[in-house]
């Protein structure tokens, strides 16, 4: 599910920035902090190491979720949010609210990616609702797709009914 958020966020930011700067390699045409510049350079290096042509699509795909979340942080409020990024989200969306939500979901994502315990440590139903809502802020179609292709609610309810504390059960979806 978090993959849906990551892809929706990066595509939304990339599309708005491409349109606003009038260039698909907008990331090379704006001033950003050293950590974000380093992330872009590292993405380009990874692409080059694979002997592939460096294209905006490949750079965008190679950048981490953390990179995209950082572009919505306070240091970029005037430079990116006010000028461009607000267009990728519902009107009246506050940058601070959006960024706070994304940081929370990035923390969840990182805990999962690093095989840390999340059951009993987080309110997973709330995380699930927050995730779907955040995706919906970006792209309602992606939100509906994520909701229809995951089995979180069913598996979480089954875990509670069975009293299992740490079981992770994967679900299979029929191919469409």
Residues 60-94 have pLDDT tens digits of 999 999 999 999 999 999 999 999 999 999 989 99
CA 9, chain centre distance (Å): 5
Residue 61: CB atoms within 10 A of its CB come to: 14
pLDDT at 162: 57
Secondary structure element (H or E) that encloses residue 141, with its range = helix 140-149
| pTM score of the predicted model | 0.86
Q: What percent of the chain has pLDDT over 90?
A: 74
Q: How many angstroms separate the first and last alpha carbons of the chain?
A: 18
pLDDT value of residue 163: 55
């Amino acid at each position: 599910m978090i993959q849906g958020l990551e892809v929706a966020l990066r595509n939304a930011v990339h599309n708005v920035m491409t349109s606003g700067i009038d260039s698909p390699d907008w990331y090379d045409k704006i001033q950003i902090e050293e950590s974000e510049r380093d992330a872009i350079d590292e993405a380009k290096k990874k692409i080059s190491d694979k002997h592939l042509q460096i294209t905006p699509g490949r750079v965008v795909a190679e950048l981490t979720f953390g990179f995209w979340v950082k572009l919505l942080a306070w240091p970029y409020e005037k430079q990116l949010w006010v000028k461009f990024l607000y267009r990728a989200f519902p009107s009246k969306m506050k940058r601070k609210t959006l960024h706070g939500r994304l940081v929370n979901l990035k923390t969840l994502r990182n805990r999962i990616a690093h095989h840390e315990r999340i059951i009993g440590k987080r309110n997973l139903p709330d995380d699930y609702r927050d995730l779907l809502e955040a995706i919906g802020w970006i792209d309602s179609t992606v939100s509906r797709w994520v909701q229809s292709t995951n089995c979180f609610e069913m598996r979480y309810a089954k875990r509670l009914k069975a009293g299992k504390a740490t079981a992770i059960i994967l679900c299979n979806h029929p191919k469409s």
